[in-house]
Amino acid sequence: MNMMDSRKFRRKRKPLTTETPSPQEDASKDMAPVPPLETREERLARRAREEGEGQTRPDPDAARQARAREAARIAAAAARQKAEAESKAQADAQRRAEEQAHDEAEAEAQRQAEEQARAKAEAEAQRQAEEQAHAEAEAEAQRRAEEQARAEAEAEAQRQAEEQARAKAEAEAQRQAEEQARAKAEAEAQRQAEEQARAKAEAEAQRQAEEQARAKAEAEAQRQAEEQARAKAEAEAQRQAEEQARAKAEAEAQRQAEEQARAEAEAEAQRQAEEQARTDAETEGRRRKLAEARQAAKLRRAEEARRAAEADADDADDEDEDGTAEQADTPVARPAPAMPTLALTPEQRSPAADQTPLPQSTRLQTDTAWRDLPVARFELSQLNRHRVVTADRLDPAHATFDVLRTRLMHTLSERGWKRVAVTSPGKGCGKTFTVANLAISLSRQENTRTLVMDFDMRRPSLHRVLGVDSPGPIGDVLRGKLAPEDHLIRLGENDFNAGHNIAFGLNTVTEAYASELLQDPRTRVTLDRIEEELRPDVVLFDLPPALSYDDVIAFQPLFDGVLLVVGGGLTTEREVKEVERRLGTETPLLGMILNKAEGVDVERYAY
């Protein structure tokens, strides 16, 4: 920087204008005005005047006083000049100090301003550099995106060209099948189009070097586009024709499929009708056999009663002859020795049973009703195949069902209950598996009659587990169309030492309105009739999943308690709570059985 451009140099060389007062003027403003000194003419005139006055009145004192005043005035003037010089010197010193301080402050301010300007310039330079880098990055990204878009557009254009060429080739092949002459012409046009496309590609490569070739290529491309549009229109017409033919073929296939489906439906209806007729015939045959068996049993009981009456008459004659009528102990009627009287023990008998014991005739009728039920044989291999572990009792898991049986019997006995519903939150939890194992375990209770009813009319499966073929529809029993004794079966002789005091009401027919049937008053009447005739101690009902259908809620007024089977790893806590909510507080939850618990955290299902 030039020295003459510095601020100090400009300040020292700054001209004094009328607008800017000088330092002397600033100092004089603060002092009193000093009268100017006398000129020589004024002093001579004053002395002449004083001498004239002295001649007029000569007074030595006055002259002396005049000289004294003059000396005082001179001294005052000298003192005033000295004071002015000192004040001026002080003002100059103060002004120089202020100028120095002002220069230093201006220098410091300038330095700070230069540093701030330098920092700001550096920040601005950095910001500009960052913006420039960002702009370059964006430009690079945009360039790459444009290149990628250009490459994709070129690839798409090439793909479309290939697809158009392929479509044109297919259309050409179709036309060759229709007209051989036109096929040859179109093949020649296709060849020319390929040559033109190749020429266009070469012209595009030389576009920057040869301007005239580019114009020719553009014209060629225009012509080729027109040809492609014409080919596309022809291909579209061909495609529409093919679609019409395809639609016609599909309509024909649909008609044939409908006719085939109708024929299959008619065949299925005929097969179902034949199966229904066969089932009716089997049911009628079974009913006829049961009627014959009941007639034979009635004749046998009549013969036994006649023999018992004759024996009583003979005993009465003997008593009259011997005079020992007080010692007679012959019963009025004797039950068959093969079927002993079944009754609850004092520990298991319900309060109602203790208060109203069954008369001998009622027990005999109940025994007879149980003895007249058809007998079925269950194969151990079939039970083992379906994991009925309580049959051969080789699997240690059978003890779990025995404990469940004992606890269930205690609960029912304490509360005077009989009917127990077995259900699960969802499918696959093993409720039918639980019912089958619990039923075989209950059959070994010699003083307990058990009745098992398959009321899962959505997907009946208990008959398959037990190995019973075509047991018939249990819905007809509930509707009153079929007598319970004609449908129920009793467990007969077996090779796994199970008792005979258990009966099953199985089902093979799916009911479309299962929940409505369970709410039908005829169902209540049928169950009351079964209990009146057979007098079971425990009745197990295999019901559908509680959250899948409303069958459990519909059947709720007809059972006393619920056993809930939970599938380990399948059932969630939320599902269990939802089942409890649907059952409400009026229906007791007798227990919750955790099935399929291998490798499952049991604490999740703690109840």
Indicate whether 36 pLDDT > 50: yes
Residue recorded with tokens 């399929």: 596
User: Under a CB-based contact definition with an 8 Å cutoff, are residues 387 and 398 in contact?
Assistant: no
Residue type for position 515: S
Span 460-479, average pLDDT = 92
Which range, 29-33, 417-421, 468-472, has the best average confidence (pLDDT)? 417-421
* Choice between 3 and 27, residue whose per-residue pLDDT is larger: 3
Pairwise CA distance, residues 349 & 409, whole Å = 10
Span 321-338, average pLDDT = 35
Indicate whether 208 pLDDT > 60: yes
Query: Tens digits of per-residue pLDDT, 159-204?
Result: 998 999 888 888 888 888 888 887 787 888 889 888 888 888 887 8
Q: What's the confidence (pLDDT) of residue 444?
A: 93
Kindly indicate the confidence band of residue 342, based on its pLDDT and cuts at 50, 70 and 90.
very low
Query: Tens digits of per-residue pLDDT, 405-432?
Result: 999 999 999 999 999 999 999 999 999 9
Kindly indicate the confidence band of residue 322, based on its pLDDT and cuts at 50, 70 and 90.
very low
Kindly indicate the confidence band of residue 57, based on its pLDDT and cuts at 50, 70 and 90.
low
Distances (CA, A) of 402 to 141, 390, 393, 585: 77, 8, 10, 28
Say which residues have a Cβ less than 8 Å from residue 502's Cβ, sequence separation at least 6.
Answer: 439, 442, 443, 449, 450, 451, 452, 490, 491
| β-strands 502-505, 538-542 pairing | unpaired
Span 61-73, average pLDDT = 83
Say which residues have a Cβ less than 8 Å from residue 602's Cβ, sequence separation at least 6.
Answer: 594
* Choice between 13 and 414, residue whose per-residue pLDDT is larger: 414
Sheet architecture: strand order including 538-542? 375-376, 489-491, 502-505, 450-454, 538-542, 419-423, 561-567, 589-595
Question: What pTM, to 2 d.p., does this model score?
Answer: 0.46
Pairwise CA distance, residues 277 & 125, whole Å = 101
User: Under a CB-based contact definition with an 8 Å cutoff, are residues 538 and 450 in contact?
Assistant: yes
Q: What's the confidence (pLDDT) of residue 25?
A: 59
Distances (CA, A) of 222 to 19, 188, 191, 233: 84, 19, 17, 16
User: Under a CB-based contact definition with an 8 Å cutoff, are residues 376 and 506 in contact?
Assistant: no
Say which residues have a Cβ less than 8 Å from residue 160's Cβ, sequence separation at least 6.
Answer: none
Q: Give the residue among 523, 484, 476 at the shortest CA–CA distance from 280.
A: 476
What is the end-to-end Cα distance of the chain in Å, rounded?
Answer: 96
3-state secondary structure at position 360: helix
Indicate whether 331 pLDDT > 60: no
Residue recorded with tokens 């006995």: 413
What rounded mean pLDDT belongs to the chain? Answer: 82
Indicate whether 463 pLDDT > 90: yes
Q: What's the confidence (pLDDT) of residue 311?
A: 72
Instruction: Fill in the DSSP letter of residue 2.
Output: -
Domain borders along the chain are: 351-605
Query: Tens digits of per-residue pLDDT, 217-272?
Result: 788 888 888 888 888 888 888 888 888 888 888 888 888 878 887 888 788 778 77
Q: What's the confidence (pLDDT) of residue 14?
A: 58
Indicate whether 538 pLDDT > 90: yes
Q: What's the confidence (pLDDT) of residue 375?
A: 92
Indicate whether 503 pLDDT > 70: yes
Q: What's the confidence (pLDDT) of residue 352?
A: 37
Query: Tens digits of per-residue pLDDT, 345-385?
Result: 333 333 333 445 556 667 788 888 898 899 999 999 999 99
Indicate whether 316 pLDDT > 80: no
Kindly give the interhelix angle for 360-372 and 211-322, rounded to the nearest 10 degrees: 130
Pairwise CA distance, residues 235 & 239, whole Å = 6
Residue recorded with tokens 């006083």: 65
Q: What's the confidence (pLDDT) of residue 458?
A: 93
Pairwise CA distance, residues 569 & 103, whole Å = 91
Around Cβ 262, how many Cβ atoms within 10 Å? 10
Indicate whether 439 pLDDT > 60: yes
Q: What's the confidence (pLDDT) of residue 419?
A: 96
Instruction: Fill in the DSSP letter of residue 558.
Output: G
Residue type for position 12: K
* Choice between 321 and 271, residue whose per-residue pLDDT is larger: 271
* Choice between 526 and 279, residue whose per-residue pLDDT is larger: 526
* Choice between 500 and 253, residue whose per-residue pLDDT is larger: 500
Q: What's the confidence (pLDDT) of residue 550?
A: 93
Q: Give the residue among 323, 442, 440, 296 at the shortest CA–CA distance from 379.
A: 440
Q: What DSSP element (H or E) covers 567?
A: strand 561-567
Cα dihedral 22, 27, 32, 36 sign: negative
| β-strands 502-505, 489-491 pairing | antiparallel
Pairwise CA distance, residues 246 & 137, whole Å = 55
| β-strands 589-595, 375-376 pairing | unpaired
Q: What's the confidence (pLDDT) of residue 324?
A: 34
Span 270-280, average pLDDT = 75
Lowest mean pLDDT across 133-137, 175-179, 476-480, 518-522: 175-179
Q: What's the confidence (pLDDT) of residue 20?
A: 56
Tokens of 607: 């109840």
Q: Does CATH number 3.10.20.30 belong to domain 351-605?
A: no
| β-strands 561-567, 419-423 pairing | parallel
